[in-house]
Chains A and B, each alone.
Chain A
Amino acid sequence: MISILRSLWGVFLHAFRRRVTHRYPDEPMPLPPRWRGRIVLTRDPDGGERCVACYLCAVACPVHCIALQATEDASGRRFPEWFRINFSRCIFCGYCEEACPTYAIQLTPDFEMSECERKNLVYEKEDLLIAGMGKVPGYHYYRVAGVAIEGKGKGEAENERPPVDVRGLLP
């Protein structure tokens, strides 16, 4: 009898406790910045595409949801002609982000991408490309890489020594 009254009182006191429910759509979910959500393609500080269409992400993807076609522009920069991620297959493992040598493909803290139709989950390049630099500000692949493009020859990148003249070396 006493224990019943005590538990009644204990339950009544719960009226003054904080509620554990998170009212999600009304209050946004606080997500950590490294949350693996919607995948984006970032740009370098000059606004050019970071992606060099190396296919490493497509290879790393365990569910093969990434597809792209490489091409090259007049200045010699490689870029994807088209880039397609099928988010109905994507498992948000982040392997593409790890595989990417140029920090182009990145996962963002956003999971609100539900669609009524499955085909709407196939994102094309214009859906994936964002205006900013994502999680790696200031990084410019062509400035630090040794690959030659128009306006920047061999050995002109940051921290790069001039190329060795292999014919000039004496045995």
Chain B
Amino acid sequence: MIEIVAVLAFAVTMSAMLTWVERRLLGLWQDRYGPNRVGPFGMLQPVADMIKILTKEDWVPPFADRAVFVLAPAVAVAASLLSFAIVPFAPGIGIADLNIGVLFFLAMSSLGIYSVLLGGWASNSKYSLIGSLRASAQMLSYEVFMGLSLVGVVAMAGTFNLREIVEAQRKLWFVVPQFLGFVIFTIAGIAETRRLPFDLPEAEAELVAGFHTEYSGMKFGMFFVGEYAGMTLISAMIVTLFFGGWLGPWLPPIAWFLIKLFAFLGFFILLRATLPRLRYDQLMAFGWKVMLPLALANVVVTGGVLLAARGL
């Protein structure tokens, strides 16, 4: 019970603080400061934002489908937070020790599509609809090889259990033999969380704000909590699946996990600071014509090598 509360608090706090971390890091990489007025180094900025967003008028447009409109942001947060149940933070720290952890993670990240799709649909506005259509098409296509990229890891570890996958990396992190899988999973993960350069569903420049154009107040905030929680989750999964989770010398396991986690969060933000948004057809062509064949080839080669090793 305590663990559930702790993990929940960790996930929500992380997603709140990430808004600040992201703005500060973007500022750092753009030779400016970012929010530095509220509290030391602006660390209380998320608190100020929270107060602002909670006291704002919570407006549901009259043309919207009210029930679904309210449900969509809840789905966004719930799907992200549920996945944290299977994240193995350290030995003994973590909520559930599912023997199908990888599958549970993939299922929950697929559920996240519903929030975007329903939110855009229920808003009953053109921008929202286009945004949500893009989002669902993008997430469906990138889901395909996101699952495929993990097949190599699962085959090498011989289990779907995330803790056993981490233990299987004691000799060698899976990023070395499964480098291609790591690259594909990272790209798919960025697309899954709708981060730049794959933020077409939101695309401020063309779609106002994409699927959450009509949202305001805390409902709008929920989408962001969901997005940042998803970002934390993807980083946690990369660390768990490819970078040996909590494994590491000298420091306690949880410290290693957090260090790796923050390194990848920083990398995600660096990607945002660097790369411009893809065009929509480029996104689709890249997904289906490049990443999917690569993922399939990775599966074939990994499987072949494993079979050959077993045969010898």
Contact = CB atoms under 8 A, between A and B. Distances in A.
Nearest to B34: A21
Interface residues of A, number: 14
Contacts of B274: 4, 7-8, 10-11
A23 B41 CA distance: 13
Interface in B92-138: none
B28 A20 contact: no
Contact of B29 (A14, A20, A23): A14
A17 B27 CA distance: 12
Interface residues of B, number: 12
Contact of B32 (A8, A15, A20): A20
Contacts of B33: 19, 21, 23
B31 A20 contact: yes
A8 B31 contact: no
Contacts of B270: 8, 11-12
B31 A11 contact: no
A18 interface: yes
B28 to A, nearest CB: 5
Contacts of A15: 28-29
A18 B29 contact: no
B32 A21 contact: yes
B273 A19 contact: no
A126 to B, nearest CB: 36
Contacts of B271: 8
A14 B28 contact: yes
B31 A14 contact: yes
B266 to A, nearest CB: 9
Interface in A1-40: 4, 7-8, 10-12, 14-15, 17-21, 23
A51 to B, nearest CB: 43
B30 interface: yes
Nearest to A8: B274
B205 interface: no
Contacts of A19: 27-28, 31-33
Nearest to B274: A11
A163 B221 CA distance: 85
Contacts of A18: 31
Q: Which of B32, B273, B274, B275 is most buried by chain A, counting CB atoms within 10 A of its CB?
A: B274
A4 B30 CA distance: 17
A8 B186 CA distance: 15
Nearest to A15: B28
Contacts of A21: 31-33
Nearest to B273: A11
Interface string B1-36: 000000000000000000000000001111111000
Contacts of A14: 28-31
Contacts of A11: 29, 270, 273-274
Given A8-B270, A12-B29, 16 more contacts: A8-B271, A10-B274, A11-B273, A12-B270, A14-B28, A14-B29, A14-B30, A14-B31, A15-B28, A15-B29, A18-B31, A19-B27, A19-B28, A19-B31, A20-B31, A23-B33
Interface of A: 4, 7-8, 10-12, 14-15, 17-21, 23
Interface of B: 27-33, 270-271, 273-275
28 contacts: A4-B274, A4-B275, A7-B274, A7-B275, A8-B270, A8-B271, A8-B274, A8-B275, A11-B270, A11-B273, A11-B274, A12-B29, A12-B270, A14-B28, A14-B29, A14-B30, A14-B31, A15-B28, A15-B29, A17-B31, A18-B31, A19-B31, A19-B33, A20-B31, A20-B32, A21-B32, A21-B33, A23-B33
